[in-house]
Amino acid sequence: MDGPNETQGIRSTEENQTNQHDENPPPPNLLPSSHTLSPAAAGGGGSSSSTMAARIVSRALPFASRSPSPGAALLRSSPMRCPPLSAAAPTASLLSWRGFTPTQEPSRSAPPPPPLPLPPFAGFLAGIRGFRRGRRGQSAAKRAQPQDPIPGPPPPPKESEIELYARVGVDDDMPDDPEVLNIVEILKLNVPMAMKIALDGLLDSNYKTRDTSISDVGRYDKVEVSVLLCNDNFIQNLNKEWRGEDSCTEMLSMSQYIPDLDVPILMLGDIVISVETAARQAEERGHTLLDEVRILVVRGLLRLLGFDHQTSDESAVEMEKEEQLILKSLRWKGKNLAKSVLDLGKRHTETYDGQVTSGLKRAGSLRFYRPKFKYIFCDMDGTLLNSKSQVTARNAEALREARSRGVNVVIATGKARPAVIDALNMVDLSGRTGIVSESSPGIFLQGLLVYGLQGREIYRRNLDQEVCREALLYSLENKVPLVAFSQDRCFSMYDDPLVDSLHYVYHEPKAEIVSSIDQLLGTAEIQKVLFLETPDGISSALRPFWEKAIEGRARVVQAQPDMLELVPPATSKGDGVKILLDHLCISPDEVMAIGDGENDIEMLQLASLGVALANGSERTKAVANIIGATNDEDGVAQAIYNYAF
C-alpha cells in the first residue's frame, strides 16, 4: 500500500515514530515497528555481547499543521528533542518551510504511552535485509530458555536508539495542489522507511566507489534529512545560487554532514525535488508522480550517503544496484538509472543531480505555481490574435490554464464585443464557461464601452456628433472607406472590400449600409469611427490631417498600421481598465496587462506588470516592463507561463 490517502495537506509535516517494544515476533506480513541493527550495521564494529545494538526508530517531527486534524500520519507523532549543538554546528538546514513549530520536550517522568497497533500498511517490510536475521535470533534465544530459568547475570544495559527524522515540506510558491499535498503526507511515512533500509545497508555491502565518510552511524542518537518539494523556478534559482549554474534539475541533494563535528545528530542534508520536472518525467516513463518522487528521494538519499553515479561507469553501476535494492525492498516502482538518463537525453542535458529542463513552462505546468496576479487584461488584434486574426491553440491553452488556476482573464480591446465572442468561439473560449460572453466583464471599443459583473454596462462614452459628421463627409468626398461603431453594430456609407474585410477577417459585425449621414446620426449613438487606408496613406496624409482637424474635440488612435480611429477626447483603454477595476474593487497591483498597440500604452502603464509583444509599436514597448515574443510566436502564452505565475 502506498500510504494514507489524505488530500488535506500541510506545508510542514510531522514525522512518524514506530517505537513498540513488544517481545513477541510480529505476525506474518506485518511491518516491525522497530529494527535492531547489529553493531556492524550500526558502524560500531565488535560483537553484540560487547557493544550495544542500535535500534533505528522512525519518528515524525511535530510541525504545525494547517488542517484542523492533528495530522495525517498513521503512526504516533513525537516531539523533536534536539540537544544543543556546538558553536561550529550548522544551526539549520539551508531550506525552510512555513509553519514549523517545534513543541516542548515531554516530561521524562510522564507515564509511557499505551502500545500502538501495528499500522495497516506494514506487511511489505517483512523481508528487509537484517530483519529476518535479527528476529530469528530473538526467537531462538527464547526457545533456548529452560522451563524453570535459573537466575543469571543482570540484564545488559538498554540498547540505544537511532531516531530517524525526515522533514518533508513544500515551497511557499507552490499552490495547494491536492496531489502534491497527498504525496507530502505519504512521504512522511516513506522517507524514514527508505532511510532505514539505506542505513542498514551501509556496511552490509562493499561498494568500491562510495565515499565512506559516513559510516559510523552507531555513534549518533538521531539521523536527520530534509525533503523539499518545489517547482522548476525554485530549483533553478537554487542551482544558480549554490552551484553557479543557471539550470533546472529534477533533484538536488546538498549535504550538511561535517565529518569532525562531535554532536549526537547526524544531519545528512537536504533533498530538493522539482515536482514540475518529476511530473513530466513520470508521464514520459509511464508511472505516477508519486512513483517518480519516491525514486528521486531514494536517489537523493544515496547521494547524501556517498554514492555518485557521475564519477565513473563503475560508480553508476554501484549506485544503480543500491537504488534498485531499496526500491525493490519497499516494493516501489523504479527504473534503471542509466536508462532514465538515456530516455531524457534528447530533451534534457544531464547535470549534477538530474537533467536540465527547458526554462519555458509548458501546458500543465501552471499547477505548480502560485498566481502572481488576480487579473490579466489582454488585447486582441496584434496580441491574442496572430497575423491571421486567429487565436492559436497554445494561446488558448494558456488562457484555460490561467483560469483553472484562479486567474481572471479580461479582454480589453478596440473591437466590438460580438467580434471578440466570435473570435474566441473558434477555440471554445466564449460563453459562460469561457473568458468572454454577454454576461462577463470586458472593455471594448478602446475603453468607450465597459461591462462589469453579469455583463452589465457600467460606462459608455460617445463621439461628438459634429466630429462624426465631418468624418463621414471626408469618407464620401475622398473615397476613404469608413466604419462607424455603435455598441454591437457597425455602419458604413457604401460597400467596399476593405469594409467587408472588417467582418470576414477581423470578426467585426457586418457593416450596415446607410443612405445618408443624417440617417446614420439619427439612428445610433456613435462611439468611434475607423478609417481604412494603406499604412503609407495613413502616415503621410490621413493622420496629420485629422490630428489637426479635431484638436480638442477628439483624439486619434492607431491600433493597426492600416487603420486610423477617431475617439472622444481624454479617453483610453487604460481609463476603461481603471473604471472596471474600481467596479470590481481590484487594485492595479493585482493586474498584469498584455498588448501591442499605441492604444495599449495607458493600460500597460496602469498594470503592475505590463507586457508588450515584440511586434508592437516602439512607443508601446518603451513603456512596458517586459518585451515578450511576437503574436505569431504565441506571445500571450509565453507571457502567461513566464510571468503570471
Instruction: Point out the domain boundary residue: 297, 330, 363.
Output: 330
255 and 293 in a single domain? The answer is: yes
Is 157 a domain residue?
Answer: no
What is the DSSP track for 456-471?
A: -EEEE-PPPHHHHHHH
Q: Which position has the higher pLDDT, 151 or 420?
A: 420
**Phi, psi of 519, rounded to the nearest 5 degrees:** -65, -45
Segment 261-283, tens digit of pLDDT: 888 999 999 999 999 999 999 98
Instruction: Point out the domain boundary residue: 503, 536, 567.
Output: 567
| CATH number of residue 484's parent domain | 3.30.1240.10
Q: What angle do CA 373, 376, 379 make, to 5 degrees?
A: 160
Instruction: Tell me the pairing of strands 489-492 and 449-451.
Output: unpaired
**Phi, psi of 194, rounded to the nearest 5 degrees:** -65, -40
Instruction: Point out the domain boundary residue: 512, 535, 567.
Output: 567
Cα torsion at 272, 276, 278, 281 (round to 10°)? -150
At residue 247, the pLDDT reads 86
At residue 204, the pLDDT reads 66
**Helices assigned H by DSSP within 381-505:** 393-404, 417-425, 465-478, 497-504
> Does 156 have pLDDT greater than 70?
no
563 and 576 in a single domain? The answer is: no
**Phi, psi of 536, rounded to the nearest 5 degrees:** -65, -40
494 and 580 in a single domain? The answer is: no
Is 64 a domain residue?
Answer: no
Helix (H) or strand (E) holding 483: strand 482-486
Grid cell for residue 601:
500604452
Domain containing residue 541: 462-567
> Does 513 have pLDDT greater than 50?
yes
At residue 14, the pLDDT reads 39
Segment 336-384, tens digit of pLDDT: 554 444 444 433 333 333 333 344 455 566 788 889 999 999 999 999 9
577 and 473 in a single domain? The answer is: no
Segment 25-56, tens digit of pLDDT: 333 332 233 333 333 334 433 333 333 333 33
Is 10 a domain residue?
Answer: no
Is 552 a domain residue?
Answer: yes
What is the DSSP track for 339-364?
A: HHHHHTTTT-EE-SSSEE--SS--TT
300 and 411 in a single domain? The answer is: no
Closest by CA position to 38, among listed 128, 133, 125, 136:
133
How far are the Cα atoms of 62, 299, 499 from residue 191, in angstroms, in the given order?
A: 16, 12, 68
Closest by CA position to 573, among listed 376, 377, 374, 373:
377
Q: Is 230 helix (H, G, I), strand (E, B) or coil?
A: strand
Q: Exposure pattern of 580-608 as b/e (b: 16+ CB <10 Å)?
A: bbebbebeeebbbbbbbbbbbbbbbebbe
- Helices first, then strands: H and E counts in the chain: 18, 22
514 and 636 in a single domain? The answer is: no
295 and 225 in a single domain? The answer is: yes
> Does 143 have pLDDT greater than 50?
no
At residue 572, the pLDDT reads 93
Q: Which position has the higher pLDDT, 322 or 64?
A: 322
| Contact indicator for 492, 529 with CB cutoff of 8 Å | no
Average pLDDT, the chain: 77
| CATH number of residue 424's parent domain | 3.40.50.1000
| Location of C-alpha cell 534498485 | 324
Sorted by sequence, the CB contacts under 8 Å of residue 285 that are 6+ apart come out as 292, 335, 340, 343
320 and 182 in a single domain? The answer is: yes
Q: Rounded to an integer, what distance in angstroms lies between the CA atom of residue 272 and that of residue 248?
A: 11
Is 446 a domain residue?
Answer: yes
- Domain total in the chain: 3
Segment 390-399, tens digit of pLDDT: 999 999 999 9
Is 23 a domain residue?
Answer: no
Closest by CA position to 174, among listed 92, 96, 252, 276:
276
Q: Rounded to an integer, what distance in angstroms lies between the CA atom of residue 225 and that of residue 297?
A: 11
Instruction: Tell me the pairing of strands 222-230 and 265-274.
Output: parallel
477 and 433 in a single domain? The answer is: no
- Residue 534's pLDDT band (cuts 50, 70, 90): very high
168 and 313 in a single domain? The answer is: yes
489 and 500 in a single domain? The answer is: yes
448 and 499 in a single domain? The answer is: no
- Residue 506's pLDDT band (cuts 50, 70, 90): very high
What mean pLDDT is predicted for residues 7-26? 37
Segment 116-142, tens digit of pLDDT: 443 332 322 223 223 222 333 343 344
Grid cell for residue 316:
553508476
Is 611 a domain residue?
Answer: yes
Q: Is 575 helix (H, G, I), strand (E, B) or coil?
A: helix
Q: Rounded to an integer, what distance in angstroms lies between the CA atom of residue 623 and that of residue 614?
A: 13
Sorted by sequence, the CB contacts under 8 Å of residue 202 that are 6+ apart come out as 41, 43, 214, 215, 217, 305
| CATH number of residue 187's parent domain | 3.40.390.30
Please state, for a pLDDT cut of 90, what percent of the chain lies above it.
Answer: 56
Is 221 a domain residue?
Answer: yes
